[in-house]
């Protein structure tokens, strides 16, 4: 369970980190007047409208931790750019970036330690190494959950100069923001990391080994050939049956 869930959680959190769909919103922008910039741009792409008509465009905006995108609905007009401005300088966005990067590093290190500790090619695992890897994976999941929680709680206020006014002013239309798909990938991956790390942390118990008759206080494992009374015992037992 731990060996499967931990890498799967790492892939999901990494996918969430590099995609720009942490939050998204829609805005309707009117194309009125013959000198409208959007009108002339739409004509340049074969989307011209009749003079004097009041047409609107639906703009789709999405933001991630490192990239933002803007697209016109039902068209191929889409542009992405690295995050900048107040959104990039927002301390909550910077905190989420640092937590996610730390989470990815810890989870990768934990998976490596878990693979070394489990040692599927041998009979006896390295329990301490596997448990350490599980602990790192659990910590990675908790860090990514913290980053997702901070971002989701402040989703509509991130990068806003004046939170009471949002981003509405005389230049931009109203943009309603909501959680997007990358957040759900992150939540699922973080939960899988916690579950997988917990499985690695608590599933390896010390095996119960027989004791040596000569030294009862000394446990003897099957891999250790230190007790002649046990190692020299024949593999077959003889039973006397009477009728």
In the chain, where are the structural domains located? 2-202, 209-243
49-53, 120-124, 176-180, 191-195 — most confident range: 191-195
Q: Is the pLDDT of residue 19 over 80?
A: yes
Q: Which of 76, 81, 68 is CA-nearest to residue 177?
A: 68
Q: Tell me, what's the pLDDT at 238? A: 55
* Residues 177-186, mean pLDDT to the nearest whole number: 89
The angle subtended at Cα 70 by Cα 66 and Cα 74, nearest 5°, is 140
Percent of the chain with pLDDT over 90: 33
Pick the CATH number of 2-202 from 3.40.50.170, 3.40.50.150, 1.20.140.150, 3.40.50.300: 1.20.140.150
Q: Is 232 exposed, middle or buried (0-12, 13-18, 19+ CB in 10 A)?
A: exposed
Q: Tell me, what's the pLDDT at 106? A: 96
Q: Work out whether the CA dihedral 115, 119, 120, 125 comes out positive or negative.
A: negative
Q: What is the pLDDT of residues 144-168, one digit of tens each?
A: 999 999 999 988 888 775 444 444 4
Categorize the per-residue pLDDT at 53 as very low, low, confident or very high, splitting at 50, 70 and 90: very low
Q: What is the pLDDT of residues 183-237, one digit of tens each?
A: 999 999 999 999 999 999 887 666 565 555 555 555 555 444 455 454 455 555 5
Residue tagged 């596997």 (tokens): 130
Percent of the chain with pLDDT over 70: 65
Categorize the per-residue pLDDT at 39 as very low, low, confident or very high, splitting at 50, 70 and 90: very low
Q: Is the pLDDT of residue 12 over 50?
A: yes
Q: Tell me, what's the pLDDT at 15? A: 94
Q: Is the pLDDT of residue 83 over 90?
A: no
Q: Tell me, what's the pLDDT at 75? A: 73
- Strand ranges across the sheet with 176-179: 78-82, 67-72, 55-63, 23-31, 176-179
């Amino acid at each position: 369970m731990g060996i499967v869930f931990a890498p799967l959680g790492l892939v999901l959190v990494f996918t969430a980190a590099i995609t720009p769909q942490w939050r998204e919103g829609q805005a309707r922008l009117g194309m009125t007047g013959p000198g409208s910039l959007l009108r002339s741009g739409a004509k340049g792409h074969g989307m011209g409208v009749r003079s004097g008509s009041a047409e609107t465009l639906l703009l789709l905006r999405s933001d991630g931790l490192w990239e933002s995108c803007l697209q016109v609905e039902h068209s191929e007009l889409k542009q992405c750019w690295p995050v900048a401005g107040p959104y990039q300088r927002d301390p909550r966005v910077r905190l989420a970036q640092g937590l996610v990067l730390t989470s990815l590093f810890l989870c990768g290190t934990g998976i490596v330690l878990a693979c070394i500790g489990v040692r599927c090619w041998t009979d006896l695992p390295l329990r301490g190494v596997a448990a350490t890897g599980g602990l790192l994976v659990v910590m990675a999941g908790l860090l990514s959950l913290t980053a997702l929680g901070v971002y989701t709680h402040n989703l509509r206020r991130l990068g806003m100069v004046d939170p009471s006014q949002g981003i509405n002013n005389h230049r931009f239309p109203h943009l309603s923001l909501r959680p997007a798909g990358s957040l759900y990938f992150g939540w699922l991956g973080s939960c899988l990391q916690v579950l997988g790390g917990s499985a690695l942390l608590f599933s390896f118990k010390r095996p119960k080994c027989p004791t040596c008759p000569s030294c009862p206080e000394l446990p003897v494992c099957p891999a250790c050939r230190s007790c002649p009374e046990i190692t020299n015992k024949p593999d077959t037992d003889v039973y006397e049956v009477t009728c």
